[in-house]
A = this chain, B = another copy of it.
Amino acid sequence: MNSFVYQNPTELIFGKGEIAQLASRAAKLGKNVLVVYGGGSIKASGLYDTVMSILAEQGCQVSELAGVEPNPRLGTVYKGIKICRSENIDWILAVGGGSVVDAAKAIAVGALYDGDVWDIYSLKTISEDALPLGVVLTLAATGSEMNRSSVITNWETKEKFGGRTTFPAFSILDPVYTFTVPRDQTVNGICDMMSHVFEQYFSHTPEIPLQSRFAESILLTVIENAERVLDNPEDYDGRANLLLCGTMALNGTLPMGVTTDWASHAIEHAISAIYDIPHGAGLAIVLPRWMRYVYKENIARFKQYALRVWNVDGEGKTDEQIALAGIAQTEAFFKRIGAPGRLADYQIGDENLDRMARLATRFGSIGQFKTLGFDDVREILRACL
């Protein structure tokens, strides 16, 4: 196990009807609030009205930033920062999925940063100051509701980078709000949370038995609940289990003392920076190819994955065959839940392979499980076509 420092101050408020707790949290954070959201789904579901009514009861002065994109863009963040400054905003409330939360995080930090907030994403600076942020989550996927990461796309430069921003002060997670998430977004969310586990599970760090079992616990629970929720989108407990898995997959618990990878995310970010495909969908395409490209670096680890997560029958198989059977089960699962299988599903050809590989390795080699340079990434991308 490596040495590590862990801290996560976010208050997680979980369960049906827990939106009622927004009132007391709003009362603490101030009168001038910027509500950030995406498209019309929260208006259709009635959540928008509920939130606005609670904020009004608390005497809040509400500004709004609507239209945050699925891959949130820097231009939208700039708009939010401008509102924070002109309206003297005390705190920000993100209502939506991970993209909305990520945009709100960028705004929260950017509002108190003198320079261009993109400096934080292009790793030119670190900023510790941020406006307080609250979250009402509507999608089980990114884990952004309980970490300080944020991913923003600079559409002009075609860059999509993750930045270290701020933890939400509180996040309200009501599984009921995820009942109306469309099938494809539910699937993308499932792939996204599984990818977070994979990035932290496939590691050479020795002596991480608890962290490994926690990761396997999340994978087993996601797999057990995925099809159940796809079959019956209003299954409360299934939705609740997925929602909790999404949060626990990326709130700092899994990487305690573990060297993590994150190469698949770097590759996916390069794809969606150029093609604007959903992040979870991109990951579902990249991950199995990444697995096949890297598994020989540590066959024992992939064997453990196959045996514990997929219950692969090891009888008469070599370690490598067991490892490969686990990867095949992963591919079969993604197929079964209807995740996209290749880049061609999004009409993406080989026209930008070099450009994507360059973008993914812009800051140098990526990954820890296997260090990947430009040529490696191009090969993985080619396998995704």
- Residue A12 CB within 8 A of the other chain: yes
Partner of A1, one of B2, B11, B18, B237: B237
Determine the residue in chain B with the shortest Cβ distance to A17: B3
Which residues from B are CB-within-8-Å of A213?
213, 216-217, 220-221
The smallest C-beta distance from A367 to any residue of chain B, in angstroms, reads 23
A residues 203-251 near B (Cβ < 8 Å) are 206-207, 209-210, 213-214, 216-218, 220-221, 224-225, 237, 240-241, 244-245, 248
- Pair B7/A11 contact, Cβ less than 8 Å: yes
- Residue A122 CB within 8 A of the other chain: no
- Residue A363 CB within 8 A of the other chain: no
The answer to whether A248 and B6 touch (CB under 8 A), given A1-B240, A240-B1, A241-B1, is: no
Which residues from B are CB-within-8-Å of A16?
3
- Residue A180 CB within 8 A of the other chain: no
The smallest C-beta distance from A4 to any residue of chain B, in angstroms, reads 5
The answer to whether A221 and B210 touch (CB under 8 A), given A11-B6, A12-B6, A14-B3, is: yes
Chain A, residues 4-45, CB within 8 Å of chain B (1/0): the string is: 111111111111111001000000000000000000000000
Partner of A256, one of B11, B14, B216: B14
Partner of A207, one of B206, B209, B240, B257: B240
The smallest C-beta distance from A29 to any residue of chain B, in angstroms, reads 15
- Residue A253 CB within 8 A of the other chain: yes
State the CA gap A7–B1 with chains docked (Å).
Answer: 25
Partner of A15, one of B2, B11, B15, B207: B2
State the CA gap A10–B5 with chains docked (Å).
Answer: 10
A residues 95-118 near B (Cβ < 8 Å) are none
State the CA gap A18–B213 with chains docked (Å).
Answer: 25
Partner of A5, one of B2, B12, B224: B12
Partner of A210, one of B206, B218, B256: B218
Which residues from B are CB-within-8-Å of A1?
15, 237, 240-241, 244
State the CA gap A6–B225 with chains docked (Å).
Answer: 23
Which residues from B are CB-within-8-Å of A6?
11-12, 14
A residues 232-286 near B (Cβ < 8 Å) are 237, 240-241, 244-245, 248, 253, 256-257
The smallest C-beta distance from A310 to any residue of chain B, in angstroms, reads 15
- Pair A11/B5 contact, Cβ less than 8 Å: yes
Which residues from B are CB-within-8-Å of A8?
8
- Pair A244/B14 contact, Cβ less than 8 Å: no
Which residues from B are CB-within-8-Å of A237?
1, 206-207
The answer to whether A7 and B10 touch (CB under 8 A), given A209-B241, A210-B244, A241-B209, is: yes
Which residues from B are CB-within-8-Å of A207?
237, 240-241
Which residues from B are CB-within-8-Å of A2?
15
The answer to whether A217 and B210 touch (CB under 8 A), given A6-B12, A14-B256, A244-B257, is: yes
State the CA gap A154–B204 with chains docked (Å).
Answer: 49
- Pair A256/B241 contact, Cβ less than 8 Å: no
The smallest C-beta distance from A375 to any residue of chain B, in angstroms, reads 36
21 contacts between A and B (CB under 8 A): A1-B244, A3-B14, A3-B15, A3-B16, A3-B17, A4-B14, A5-B21, A6-B11, A6-B14, A7-B10, A7-B11, A9-B9, A14-B257, A207-B237, A209-B241, A210-B218, A210-B245, A210-B248, A213-B221, A240-B257, A253-B253
**A-B contacts besides A1-B240, A213-B220, A244-B256, 15 pairs, CB < 8 Å:** A3-B17, A5-B11, A6-B12, A14-B257, A15-B257, A206-B237, A207-B240, A210-B218, A210-B248, A213-B213, A213-B217, A214-B214, A217-B217, A240-B257, A253-B253
